[in-house]
Amino acid sequence: MAWVNAIIQGVLTGGLYALFACGLSLMFGVMKVVNLAHGDLAVVAGYLAIGVITVTHVPVLWSFLIVVPLMAVLGYVLQRTLIQGALDRSVLITLMVTFGLSVVIENGLLQFFTANSRGIGAGLALVSGSFTLGSQIQIGYLPLLIFAVAVVVLLGLQYFLSTSRYGRLIRAVADDQEAAQLAGADYRHVFGIAAAIAFGTVALAGIAYGMYSQLAPTTGTDTILLFAFAAVVIGGLGSLWGTLLGGVVLGVAQQIGAQINISDELLAGYIVFLAVLVLRPQGLISRRASS
């Protein structure tokens, strides 16, 4: 029964990891940008939420209404300035610039907010509450909610990309930037929109992680970025459903690892990641198979 429990908990945390990963996946899919500051931006969003809640006294759960648009604007601006500037030069420059950004954000947070970790909405019934299934399986409301949010976000993103006007533009630009430009699409603006969406999901991920666990300046790299990347690689590059599957596989691997030995949680996740890298480098769901 403990194993069933581990698997259920793993699936639920997998939703959180998929939420981490979808922004990374989207930015790579559209702009071929691997944003190494991805995780740190999630932490920024989490800190922003803490600030918003303290200042405006909005209910914890609704803080995303303020934080997500703010992060989306930040995403558009960053994409149009720093990231586009780097992209115009080369892929290597993009990596160096986003890595620089990551280090600057992490140390900036460390400098201004100390290394202390902080949670969002601790003590809320939603955060600590749970219900039981059978005798041993305990399911928290929050992990369930986060999983549902992840599924809704992925579904929404899929729907948006395949049916809406902007979605078509984004896909067109991702497929062939120059052809789209010739047809009248301003690819820089479209990149900005894609970055805004990606940053919006990053903001949700940051808030969700802050409620689920604790945020510290280093959480962005040693947890969020690496888990997001592992989920993307396990699931398969460029496939949103693959990302959800990747997140779930990572979550289950970690929970099973923790079941074997509590200190093996992280290691088990990474070993599954490396195994996928070696045995099935195209990911569990390859792009071709899904589209």
Partner 1 sequence: MSLATETTARPAEEFRVTRSQRNVAWTGVVALIVVVVFAMLPYIVFSGTTTILVQAFIVLTMASMWNLLAGYAGLVSVGQQAFVGLGAYFVLILAINGFSPFVALPIAAIGSGVAALPLWWLISRLRSGYFAIATWVVAATVMLIIEKFSSIGGGTGLPLPGFAGMDPTLLTAYTYWAGLAVSVVTLAVIYLLLRGRLGLVLTAVRDDEIAARSSGARVGLARMLVFLVAGAGCGAAGGVLAISQLQVQPGAVFSVQWTAVMAFATIIGGLGTIEGPIIGTIVYMVLQQTLASYNAWYLIILGLVAIFVALFARRGLWGLVDEHLNVRLFPVGYWLRTPGSSARHGRRGARGEGAQEAG
- In 114-264, where does DSSP find H-type helix? 125-128, 141-163, 165-175, 177-182, 187-212, 219, 226-235, 240-260
Dist CA 213 CA 263 (whole Å) = 17
Count of C-beta atoms within a 10 Å radius of residue 198: 29
Dist CA 254 CA 270 (whole Å) = 9
Rank residues 135 and 263 by Cβ distance to partner 1 and give the closer one: 263
Per rule CB under 8 A, is residue 266 in the interface with partner 1? yes
Rank residues 33 and 161 by Cβ distance to partner 1 and give the closer one: 33
Contacting residue, 152, 155, 281, 289, with partner 1 by CB under 8 A? 281
Q: How far is the CB of 185 from partner 1 (least distance, A)?
A: 24
Burial class of residue 185, CB neighbours in 10 A (0-12, 13-18, 19+): middle
Per rule CB under 8 A, is residue 22 in the interface with partner 1? no
Q: Which two tokens stand for residue 281?
A: 């480098």
Q: How far is the CB of 25 from partner 1 (least distance, A)?
A: 11
Per rule CB under 8 A, is residue 185 in the interface with partner 1? no
Per rule CB under 8 A, is residue 86 in the interface with partner 1? yes
Which region among 25-33, 46-54, 124-132, 168-176 touches partner 1 (by CB under 8 A)?
25-33
Which region among 46-54, 58-66, 129-137, 229-237 touches partner 1 (by CB under 8 A)?
229-237
Per rule CB under 8 A, is residue 260 in the interface with partner 1? no
Per rule CB under 8 A, is residue 271 in the interface with partner 1? yes
- Count of residues that bind partner 1 according to CB under 8 A: 43
Per rule CB under 8 A, is residue 117 in the interface with partner 1? no
Per rule CB under 8 A, is residue 17 in the interface with partner 1? no
Q: How far is the CB of 99 from partner 1 (least distance, A)?
A: 6
Dist CA 67 CA 150 (whole Å) = 17
Per rule CB under 8 A, is residue 99 in the interface with partner 1? yes
Per rule CB under 8 A, is residue 36 in the interface with partner 1? yes
Instruction: Specify whether the backbone of 52 is left (phi greater than 0), alpha (psi in -120 to 50) or beta.
Output: alpha
Dist CA 231 CA 121 (whole Å) = 27
Dist CA 1 CA 273 (whole Å) = 26
